[in-house]
Every structure is written in structure tokens, then in C-alpha cells.
Structure 1
Amino acid sequence: MRKWRSAVVTAAWVGVGTAAGALGAWQLATADSGVAAHSRPLDEEAVERALAATSATPSPPAPTPSGSRTHSPKPAERSTLRFTGGTATVECRGDGTVYLVSWSPADGFHIDDDVERGPAATARLEAEPSDDDEREDLPYEIDCGKQGRPVARVVADTDD
């Protein structure tokens, strides 16, 4: 009877370990699948703004007098920026402005609702720990830096 009970306990531990390993592998496989999620659902106006920003087609360049050259602005470049509280897909635009396309909190954090996504010289968001009592909030300013690549900096928390 004792051997049978030992075999059942061992089988249960193997089953739990296998399930935990499979769950962990699934989380790792889907963690950075390129689909960034917002920390909150978008309202209809936000969806329309996002669609307009991503589907806007540039107008054809105006004809120039012969012999003159125009400087066409650099196209917007998207990249993923990782920071302590999560990740953000950021667009650095040719005019030097930044636009937060999407963002996703890291495990143990959520992104505060008052995100300033741009386009502007600086975008802002705040990563708040889920255990509010133990860790400080992490307010970030994001801009396109000197090389035109996104840079996130923790700034002083002004909510207090």
C-alpha cells in the first residue's frame, strides 16, 4: 500500500511540474510576439486617431521649379523600447516628434491611464507597480534622442 501511495504522489508531482513548465514556455513564446497590448481598452475616438495615424498616406510632393531641390523629411521609424515598467512601440517622426503607437506593462506593473502619446517633442507614461505600497511609481519621458532613436528617462513623480 505504501509503494502505491508513493507512486501516486510522484506522478502528481511530475504532472504539476510538467504543467508549470508548459505554462512557462507558453508565456515566454508569447511574451514578445510583436503584438503590443494597451494597459486599457481604447475608446472609439482613440481607435479612430490610431487608425488615422497608421493609415495616413503622404500627399505627393509638390512640383518644384526646375533646377531647385527640396529636402524631403525623413520617414517615421518605429522601434520597440524596453524600460523597467514595460515596453512601448515608438515612432520617431521626420519632424523630430515622438508618437507612442502602443505600450504594454511588464509583469508586476500597469501603465497609468494618463498617457501623453504625442505626436510631440516628448511623450509621457507612468508604470505603476501592482504592489503600490512597496515600490515607487516610474514616470517616464520618451523622446527621439540625438540620433533619432527613442530614449526613455525616469523623471520626478509629480502626482504626490
Structure 2
Amino acid sequence: MRKWRNAVVTAAWVAVGTAAGALGAWQLASSDGAGGAAHSRPLDEAAVRAALTASTPTRASPSASAPPSPSSTPPPTPSADRSTVRFTGGSATVECRADGTVRLVSWSPADGFHIDDDVERGPGAVARLEAEPGDDDDQPDLPYEIRCADGTPRAKVLPDRDDD
């Protein structure tokens, strides 16, 4: 009698485990990926644009909405084209503005370098940053000047300004 009871209990546990596994597999297989399922694929650029376009709220007519408060309206800025400029010590995302000025939006050092804290990001006629080698004292610092020419950023290495 005791053998039968152990066999029945074991069979019940196996049945419950199998049912739970099957339910989990069914749930995963029937998921459309919207819930962040493990098998969902990343979107390509066209799919991202389509999703952003679909999720952008439509604007109500001016008469249907209240005017924005002065504190919530951002100050007007000249239109700008963003692009990335690459140089030996790293890269930078740059805005070349319609008024001819340049502004560093962000920057990232290349492997083995770091960007000095003394960055002149603009907006101005010129933006400046300096890429410094990590642990190599034999390699010189690389100060860069970034300008926009015809809406395209150009990085030019300058002579090192430090008086070591």
C-alpha cells in the first residue's frame, strides 16, 4: 500500500511539473512580443520610425487648447543639423547651426583615451576638446578644434597647449 501511495504522489508531482512547463511554453509561444518576451526581435530603423510616427499624438487645433505658459515654452534656437565627427582620440556629436556656429552635443573617447574636462562646447565659431592618452606618458595629448564648413563638422588637431 505504501508503494502505491509513493508512486501516486510522484506521478502527481510529475504531472504538475509537466503542466506548468507546458503552460509556460504555450504562454511564450503565443506572446506577440509586446510584453517584452525573451524572443522578441529588435526593430530596424524603418520599424522604429513607423512606431514613432504611430505613437506621435496629433495636435489639437489652437482654439481647442490653452496657450502654453511662458515658462514651459523653450527659447527659440537656430535650426541645426547633427552629425558625428571622428578623430584619433574619439568622436563627437556636433550641431552645425544655420547661423554658422557649432555646438558639441556629446563626445566619447576612443579606447585608450579620455576627454579632458576642459571642453568648450559652444555654441560659437569654434568648439574645442582635448583627447588625452590613458596611461601612456610618451604619447602626446591631442587638442582638437571643431568647426562647421558648409554644414559639415571638421575636426583639426592643434599643437598641444600644455607647458609640461
Q: TM-score, normalised by structure 2?
A: 0.52
Length, aligned pairs only:
91
Q: Which amino acid in structure 2 is aligned with residue 58 of structure 1? A: P
Can you give the 5+ residue segments of structure 1 that lack an aligned partner in the other structure? Answer: 1-54, 60-72
- Residue 155 in structure 1 maps to residue 147 in structure 2: no
C-alpha distance after superposition, 1:55-87 (max 9, x if no partner): 94638xxxxxxxxxxxxx7x2000011110001
CA distance in 1, matches of 2:123, 2:81: 13
Describe the SS at the equivalent of 1:153. strand
Structure 1 stretches of 4+ moved >6 Å: none
**1:139 lines up with 2:157 in the alignment:** no
Please give the residue correspondences for 1:26-45 in structure 2 after superposition, counting only pairs within 5 Å: none
Is residue 90 of structure 2 the alignment partner of residue 86 of structure 1? yes
1:62-81 equivalences under 5 Å are 75-81=79-85
1:132 and 1:114 map into 2 onto residues whose CA distance is 20
Matches of 1:106 and 1:134, distance apart in 2: 17
Determine which of 40, 51, 58 is the counterpart of 2:76.
58
Distance 1:139 1:58 in 2: 32
How far did 1:134 drift? 1.9
Give the whole-Å Cα distance in 1 for the aligned partners of 2:107 and 2:86.
10
Q: TM-score, normalised by structure 1?
A: 0.53
Greater Cα radius of gyration, structure 1 or 2: 2
1:112-134: CA deviation from partner (whole Å, max 9, x where unpaired): 01000000000000000002412
What is the aligned partner in structure 1 of residue 103 from structure 2? 99
Q: Within 2, Cα distance between the matches of 1:76 and 1:84?
A: 25
The one-letter amino acid of 1:144's match is C
Greater relative contact order structure (CA < 8 Å, 6+ sep): 1
What is the aligned-residue identity percentage? 73
Report the residue type matching 2:76 in the other structure. Answer: P
Distance 1:150 1:100 in 2: 10
Q: What are the superposed Cα offsets for residues 21-65 of structure 1, whole Å, 9 maximum, x if unpaired?
A: xxxxxxxxxxxxxxxxxxxxxxxxxxxxxxxxxx94638xxxxxx
Unpaired stretches in structure 2, ≥5 consecutive residues = 1-72
Shift of 1:148: 1.7
- Which residue of 2 is the match for residue 9 of structure 1? none
